[in-house]
A and B are shown apart, each in its own frame.
Chain A
Amino acid sequence: MDKLKKHIEKNRPALDRIEQPDMDRLWSNIRKELAKEKGTPKKGELKVVTEKRGRRFTLWAMAMAASFALVIGLGVGYLMNPQVTESADFNLANYAPSLEKEAANYRKLVNAKKEEINFQQLDTLAFTEVLQELKELDKEYDHWTKDVPQYVQEQELLEFLQRHYEQKIRILEILSKVASCQLSARSKQNSALKN
């Protein structure tokens, strides 16, 4: 490697600090520009979940690569029953009662979201991937609360639980919105056919 290249690589942090942008002004301009955008994805939009499912949750797929392969092998029929109400986790309560209390608060929200969704009329085939994600989240939860507590700090587990439930609530929120849109479209179609 030539001397100049070596010299630059060695002192790269210094080189990268020489000129700095006006961070606040720049961010404010970016926000203004984004606000003009009509197509900016907003929280809960259908396309966010449906079009990018595979990529959006790669994190969980990565973490559970082995179990993912297994689930794929077993097919859609193996998917969990997402409407089942989530109940207290005795294993977690045993390990860390304070965490179980925290989890209980989250579970209330999760269950409330589940109640909003009419699973009976849900087109499960259309939401295979979403349901699969929920399954993945549950498997990961099992992994963390059954095995991991022996190796991780309580704080780390708490952070996992927060991430887990927030992710789950977000998925259910979107599923609820999309499912209700789908149902209303279907009922409009039916009434149009009757007329």
Chain B
Amino acid sequence: LRETFYIAEEQVLVNRCLDGDEQAQYELYQKYVQAMYNVAIRMVHYSEDAEDIVQEVFVKVFRKLDSFQGESTLGAWIKKITVNTTLNFIRKRKHKQTTSIEDSMEVPVFEEDIDTSEFSMAQIHCAIKQLPERCRVVLNLYLIEGYQHQEIASILGITVSTSKTQYRRGRMLLQDILRG
């Protein structure tokens, strides 16, 4: 029942936005901005870039709100747009880069995982941001955003096995960074 009311509330908010109600747009913005910013900031380095992405996401959301079919929750729909926009941003920027440091980080091999529970979220956050791009994206999508390797493979246009490999690589590098 709570879920029904939640969806109903969300629907009211969407309807108000569609009616051009600016207060409703602001409410929607406030409700999702932090979550969307988190998705972006964990995948790109700079806050300016993450803000640009979030701005683009919200403009898309308000522009395309009439195509929201209610098949998923509004949050899931916005998150999908955010992930896609962030990945597009990364792809575009990659084209501009002449050199890549992507594979220059050597992957350490540990016999067993370190106890990450002794590290704070801030330390883990900073460590994730230091990862090379490809494995940072996969690790974020799998570990934090809850995507499965199958979905990641489909979004990134890679194979499931590459997604798993990048994730393992990311995990190893993350532990290395955390160990200092």
Which A residues lie at the B interface, using CB under 8 A? Answer: 2-5, 7-8, 11, 14-16, 18-23, 25-27, 29-31, 33-34, 37, 39-45, 47-48, 51-52, 55-59, 62-63, 163, 170
Contact = CB atoms under 8 A, between A and B. Distances in A.
A42 B20 contact: yes
A19 B55 contact: no
A39 to B, nearest CB: 7
Closest 3 CB pairs between A and B? Answer: A43-B20, A15-B121, A59-B11
Contacts of A31: 22
11 contacts: A7-B117, A7-B124, A11-B121, A20-B34, A21-B50, A30-B62, A33-B59, A40-B20, A48-B18, A56-B18, A58-B11
Contact of A3 (B8, B14, B117): B117
B55 A63 contact: no
Contacts of A22: 51
B124 A21 contact: no
Contact of A4 (B34, B68, B69, B171): B171
B41 A19 contact: yes
A19 B47 contact: yes
A8 B59 contact: no
Given A19-B38, A43-B21, A34 B59 contact: yes
Given A20-B34, A42-B20, A59-B11, A48 B66 contact: yes
A55 to B, nearest CB: 6
B144 A8 contact: yes
Interface in B1-60: 4, 7-8, 11-12, 14-15, 18-22, 25-26, 29-30, 33-35, 37-38, 41, 47, 50-51, 54-55, 58-59
B38 A59 contact: no
A21 B37 contact: yes
B34 A41 contact: no
B102 interface: no
B59 A26 contact: no
Best-buried of A19, A20, A170 by chain B (most CB within 10 Å): A19
Best-buried of B8, B18, B50, B122 by chain A (most CB within 10 Å): B18
Contact of A55 (B8, B70, B125): B70
Interface of B: 4, 7-8, 11-12, 14-15, 18-22, 25-26, 29-30, 33-35, 37-38, 41, 47, 50-51, 54-55, 58-59, 62-63, 65-66, 68-70, 113, 115-117, 119-122, 124-125, 143-144, 171, 174
Contacts of B68: 55
Contact of A27 (B18, B29, B113): B29
B18 A21 contact: no
A21 B33 contact: yes
A124 B78 CA distance: 36
Given A4-B171, A20-B34, 6 more contacts: A4-B124, A7-B124, A15-B125, A23-B30, A23-B33, A59-B7
A40 B171 contact: no
A31 to B, nearest CB: 8
Given A18-B121, A19-B41, A58-B11, A26 B116 contact: no
B116 A34 contact: no
A82 B89 CA distance: 51
Nearest to B4: A62
A21 B46 CA distance: 11
